[in-house]
Structure 1
Amino acid sequence: MTVTTTARTSGARITPLAAALIAEVRAVVARGLTPELTAYLAAETLRSYLGNADLLTLDQCEGDPDRYRQHVLHAEEDGSFSVVALVWLPGQRTPIHDHVSWCVAGVHQGEESERRYRLVPEGDAAHLAPTEDVVNPLGSVCGFAPPGDIHEVRNSCTGTAISVHIYGADVLRLGTSIRRVYPRPEGERG
């Protein structure tokens, strides 16, 4: 999967509001709590910033006609977290995937649909079983930590959707927040 990435914060232009969000997330991460609690608190922090027109620059709201686009707003120097804006044009989606670390996502514009899965052991193999379909409207947030974080996300509205994600990893160094991509379950349409 290819994504378009902007420069590390030291070279990227971020808004004062994004800088405030980053400072609040830094304080949450510095507490050294469990991944689950860190994700929960980061989600609560993100909630009050969503939908504010001053959070992202115009460039950070630009999509890509071929795939959803990733704009890295910040990657902490010590690798402890990153803040990313994902821009989705209508119908764009992720593959089914899980993550390298805890993750928080909040819908900043539009609406996103998410299908969540669980891995079901089956002899020497395993298969995915869908567990829940969720529609995430403007302002909604969710946070989770591996394991049990397998999902697919897509833009389910007729316009551009933008979500802000916070990952407990340096996505600039890693190139992505995705740990593993899973094949679509047999019989499930993409």
Structure 2
Amino acid sequence: MQLEHVSRLARPFPPASAALDQLCRELDAAFAAAEAGSNASFGQRVRLALQRAIADPGVLRPDQRVSNPQNYCRHLLAADPLNRYAIAALVWAPGQASPVHGHQTWCGYAVIEGTLEETLYRWDTDEHRAIETRRHPRPPGAVSYVDAGRGAIHRLGLSADAAARAVSLHVYGVAGEQIATHVNDLLAA
């Protein structure tokens, strides 16, 4: 009964669309299922919830798709009142990319608009740096989930010759106020 109450609590950043509200409810259910020992993995539930959220063209308002000419822009969309997750839209202008990083927490993302390029790395313990292993495009509809740690090091960005921005929806296992400080584990490449 208590878990049912959690999903009805007011959120510090109330979701601005029905799709984001549904995403929050599905994330709450994923936590409840994990606590109950469900056979379905938490990561699978997050991926499915993200897929459903981005299928709604109204998932983001126009002001949540605004970019920044200096760096990719992060719009905080919702924060769990129990500090289990935060949801953000990242908006990428041509030529913008994240630094090479692993994650200090679990993370899931889905591409809404544009085609991002993801570069994957492996951690070399002898050289104490990330070594590039491959690159691949992440078109609209692409969804990814990773657990915390250096087993999933990557760099995400938009090619400098892209014709338009890209937009992605991200869910991180941190409190809303920690989204800029407790997600990425920045690494040398």
Task: Please indicate the TM-score interval, normalised by the length of the shorter structure.
Answer: 0.7 to 0.9
Query: Which one of 23, 27, 30 corresponds to residue 21 of structure 1?
Result: 23
1:183 and 2:185 correspond: no
Partner deviation per Cα, 1:82-138 (whole Å, 9 max, x = no partner): 11110101111001011121111100111110111111121xx52221122121000
Partner deviation per Cα, 1:10-42 (whole Å, 9 max, x = no partner): 3556112211111112111222269x9322210
Alpha-carbon deviation of 1:171? Answer: 3.8
Letter in 1 for 2:163: T
Q: TM-score, normalised by structure 2?
A: 0.83
SS at match of 2:135: strand
Letter in 2 for 1:10: P
Letter in 1 for 2:121: Y
Matched with 1:118 is 122
Q: TM-score, normalised by structure 1?
A: 0.82
Letter in 1 for 2:158: N
Matched with 2:49 is 45
Q: In 2, Cα distance between the equivalents of 1:91 and 1:79?
A: 33
Matched with 1:89 is 93
Describe how 1:1-190 pairs up with structure 2 within 5 A.
Answer: 9-11=11-13, 14-32=16-34, 37-122=41-126, 125-147=127-149, 148-156=151-159, 157-184=162-189
Q: How many aligned positions are there?
A: 174
Q: Structure 2: state its 5+ residue gaps.
A: 1-9
Q: 1:28 to 1:139 in 2, by over 3 A?
A: same
Matched with 2:4 is none
Q: In 1, Cα distance between the equivalents of 2:79 and 2:60?
A: 16
Alpha-carbon deviation of 1:79? Answer: 1.1
Q: In 2, Cα distance between the equivalents of 1:128 and 1:160?
A: 27
Q: Structure 1: state its 5+ residue gaps.
A: 1-7, 185-190
